Amino acid sequence: MKELTMLMVCPICGKKYSADSAKLVQGVSNAALLHVSCSFCGSASLAMLTKAVGNDKDGGNAFVTIGMMTDLSFEESRRLIGQSPVSSADVLDFYEKGGF
């Protein structure tokens, strides 16, 4: 994982991530959800890293990543993983109780 983060750059400031910028939120057999934070600008992303089926043309492993910006901390990401999504009923209930 350290080797991969050194190749990744922050989408906000363009600086390379440091080796310790990625933390594992959750992992399964061939995929990992990472929380990546930039030590330069303070932005954070959640990145799904998946090992592709088979190998790349040079005989090494091939990986696919998908990422999105987040305002969640690593701890919040760990706590919220696996929670049910917010439903329209949840939103309506929140509104009716005076939310916003």
Quote the pLDDT of residue 65.
82
Task: Determine the Cα–Cα distance for residues 15 and 19; give it in Å rounded to an integer.
Answer: 13
Task: Determine the Cα–Cα distance for residues 76 and 46; give it in Å rounded to an integer.
Answer: 12
- Please identify every stretch of the chain with a pLDDT value under 70, giving residue numbers as ranges: 1-7, 54-61, 100
Domain span at 63: 2-96
User: How many distinct structural domains can be found in the chain?
Assistant: 1
> pTM score, two decimals?
0.72
Burial 63-81 (b: 16+ CB within 10 A, else e): eeeeeeebeeebeebbeee
Quote the pLDDT of residue 87.
95
